[in-house]
Amino acid sequence: MTIEITPLKPDSPELEICAAWRYEAFLKSCGYSLDENGAQLAKLATQPDEYETALIALADGHLAGICLLVLREFEPLHDVSPWLASLYVAPEFRKRGVARMLVAAIEEQARGHGVARLHFYTGDAEKFYLKCGWSLAEQGVADGEPYAFMIRDL
């Protein structure tokens, strides 16, 4: 399987699929609409050379995943920036290295803009990020849900 990491393009069929993935996985329970999410991804897709970006993974030409580099996280518990956000890999492509490649590509994008440290929240993927070189900065509970606040020095 050949995996290619590329910026999400505006008005591409991938944008709609990625918006649906992100909405279902991360935003539906937070009160955000699918349309708001789609608009945010479209904005990121129209500025691929800017600081913030949306990257997608294509596995043998098929959309396999998405990951974002953003300045602000939705309702953060920590006043820091920037953030790795919304890492999602389609179920049929999991455990094949897609997530690691997306994380590495976001880290490289951040390095290219002079970022010294990235931040991330996870509820259940702490072990994955530790394997990718991230560090656990804090664990806690917010809105009744456990979280791990992770950092990555670049």
Q: Which amino acid is at 28?
A: K
As to burial, measured by CB atoms within 10 angstroms (0-12 exposed, 13-18 middle, 19+ buried), residue 32 is middle
Domain of residue 86: give its range. Answer: 3-153
Sign of the dihedral through C-alpha 128, 131, 137, 140: positive
Residues of the chain with pLDDT under 70: 48-49
CA distance 14 to 93: 16
Whether 60 contacts 95, CB under 8 Å: no
Query: 18: closest CA among 87, 120, 83, 100?
Result: 87
What is the amino acid identity at position 8?
L
| Whole-angstrom distance, CA of residue 70 vs CA of residue 54 | 9
pLDDT at 109: 94
CA gap 154, 140 in Å, rounded: 24
Strands (E), the chain: 3-7, 53-59, 62-70, 83-89, 117-122, 135-142, 145-153
Q: Is 149 exposed, middle or buried (0-12, 13-18, 19+ CB in 10 A)?
A: buried
Residue with tokens 């990951």: 67
The pLDDT assigned to 32 comes to 84
Q: How many domains does the chain have?
A: 1
Report the CATH number that the domain containing residue 76 is assigned in CATH: 3.40.630.30
Structure tokens, 69: 């580099």
The encoded tokens of residue 121 equal: 């929240």
Q: Are 7 and 54 in contact (CB under 8 A)?
A: yes
Instruction: Give the pLDDT score at 142.
Output: 87
Residue 83's pLDDT is 96
| pLDDT value for 48 | 60
